[in-house]
Amino acid sequence: MTLSPAKTELIQWLDAKIDDLSDWQQLIFEHGETAWREYKSSAWYVERLRAEGFSVEAGSGGMPTAFCAEWQNGDGPTIAGYAEYDAVPGNCQAAASEQGPRAGLSVHAGGHTDPHSALGISSLGGFLAARAMMQRHDIKGRLKFFGEPAEKVRGSKPIHAARGYYDDLDAAISFHPFYMLPLCNTTRWNTHCGVGYAMIYSFECDSPETWLSHAGASDSPIAAAHASARAPGANDALLQMYQTSKALKEHMVSAGCGWSMNECILTAGQATADNLPAQIAQIQYVMRVPTIEMAQRITGVLDNNAAAAAAISHCSWRRDWVSKSRHGLANHVLAQATYDNLRAIGAPAFNQGAARDTAREIQRNLGLEPMDKPFLAATEQLITPQAAETELRRELPEWQEHFTSDDYTEYCWHAPTVRLYIARPTLTSPQPGFRYPAWVMNALGGIRETIEPMIACASKTVGCTVFDLLTDGEMLADARREFEERTGGGVNGSSWQAPLCDYEPPIGFRWPEYVTTERGREWWIPG
């Protein structure tokens, strides 16, 4: 495939902009803000997009760190993309060639792992380049660029979808840095991501005085006498919930379908060394499964576990939803068109120049012999969507249609959507079985020289695909016909899956975050 003069111009525009994109990525990486608390990151995007001429709704969908930006040049297709910018607690790593947290922070603070810092900037770069071509060549259409917080808990996209933000889209582009082979420098074909459910179980010991209460049990007028047997309380309920759910995990869904369930403890509150029960404790579960039915089944078991844990610990309990996201929907027309652009642009090149030098320095700091080509060969190679699909299916049972989970899938049910993967910098193992420590991947995702090849390739691919969707009416019509066939008639069609979100944004919980005190800005867990 040969790039058209207009696409060549778009790529040249991005080549001239790469220093800005790298600077912006550095800013978001350094913020390292975690789910539902991405205040500085989202504010930066809102300010940047407004400076670029977009109209921006900050706090879209009732989510303070979300946004919806629009730019329009007359009547034409509406094309969507998005930024993610949430980091992960406990992964604070500097953009450096040796292990260590970002300046002034502890290792417990947030840090980018995927990295979402480069994900968002790559997509933004592609949309800004497309807008520049729309201005230069008077191309008609509308761009919608979303800020999607809390992806790590599948947070914002189900809410945006349920509240109608995707209803007017003609197509959407989802980009993610490569995170598992064979999905490296390609697009997804048939096997898209599956269902993601996330919820918080809260246990409260609100009536400790009635524990073992009976006539004549005590002559003390004090309900919580220090010598009395105290109610087990919320910590005990949480512990029972945790242990029971671990023990019954294999009974929730059949093995062998690539599902996962992870938990984290949000609040273990108001426990004391006194003879008083903990009043409140909260635990979050996130599950990634192939089907909605499996997610519902697991939720039922977790509800039973919560009720049992509450009963034996003298607590009440409740479940609050964090996410209910749908599985993905393929679109071959858009997947192929996007891959064709990637093939014309070429895979990113890591094993050269400053990126290669930095990778060799990391290997040296780990006590390894620096390699001539330190980056994984696959990161510099393309793989067709069809070949990647074949490789991916080798590990999956024939009946399973979805694998892993990411909430980009919400876009799939409202417009033709492509899932694009571009290689992130990944070091090759010096010997079979060797694994680099986790900080290495995190650092490579922030170091300018190592992440820049990915940003350049991804932004060009996104920009060229947006350009196609705005100018190639036949391709867009074909993608739309496929969407209608797969949904049985489009939105509200016979095979269409409606949004699952029936809850308010879960922004009021004790999510990990940075705090400002008399000591200055710090992570909420002291270093």
The mean pLDDT value for 190-212 works out to 93
What is the reported pLDDT for 276? 80
What span, in angstroms and rounded, lies between the C-alpha atoms of 269 and 78?
47
CATH fit for domain 197-210+228-323, picks 3.30.70.360, 3.30.465.10, 1.20.120.1630, 3.40.50.300: 3.30.70.360
Pairing of strands 402-405, 171-177: unpaired
% of the chain surpassing 70 pLDDT: 96
How far from 419 is each of 91, 193, 214, 467, CA to CA, in Å?
26, 10, 62, 17
So what's the pLDDT on residue 278? 86
Cα–Cα distance for residue pair 364/99, rounded to 1 Å: 13
Q: What is the pLDDT of residue 138?
A: 97
Please state the pTM of the whole predicted model.
0.94
Each residue of 251-275: b (16+ CB within 10 Å) or e?
A: ebbeeebbbebebeebbbeeeeeee
Let me know: does 174 contact 419? Beta carbons within 8 Å.
yes
The pLDDT of residue 483 is above 90: yes
Those residues with Cβ within 8 angstroms of residue 398's Cβ, 6 or more apart along the chain or in another chain: none
For residue 521, the SS3 value is: strand
Structure tokens at 446: 């922030």
DSSP codes joined into one string, 325-382: EPPP---HHHHHHHHHHHHHH-----SSHHHHHHHHHHHHHTTPPPPSS-B-GGGG--
Report pLDDT for 222.
Answer: 57
Range 418-433 average pLDDT: 96
Question: pLDDT of 203-236, one tens digit each?
Answer: 999 888 888 865 455 555 555 556 677 888 899 9
Indicate the class that CATH gives domain 5-190+330-487: alpha beta
Residue ranges covered by each domain of the chain: 5-190+330-487, 197-210+228-323
CB atoms within 10 A of CB 180: 10
pLDDT band at 173 (very low <50, low <70, confident <90, very high): very high
Tokens encoding 408: 């980009």
- Give residue-wise pLDDT tens across range 256-313: 777 888 899 987 666 566 778 888 999 999 999 999 999 999 999 999 999 999 999 9
pLDDT tens column, 394-407: 989 999 999 988 99
Tally of CB atoms within 10 A around 346: 13
Mean pLDDT in the chain?
Answer: 93
What separation, in Å, do the N-terminal and C-terminal C-alpha atoms of the chain show? 53
Phi, psi of 126 (to 5 degrees): -65, -40
Give the model's pLDDT for residue 223.
53
**For residue 118, what are its two tokens?**
């480069």
Alpha-carbon distance 212 to 218, whole Å?
Answer: 10
Supply the pLDDT for residue 227.
64
Q: CB neighbours of 466 closer than 8 A, spacing ≥ 6?
A: 79, 81, 126, 127, 130, 143, 173
- For residue 451, give the 3-state DSSP assignment: helix
* The token pair that represents 14 in the structure block: 């991005």
Looking at residue 489, its pLDDT comes to 94
d(CA 49, CA 69): 7
Euclidean distance between CA atoms 394 and 447, whole angstroms:
34
Neighbours of 436 (CB within 10 A): 17
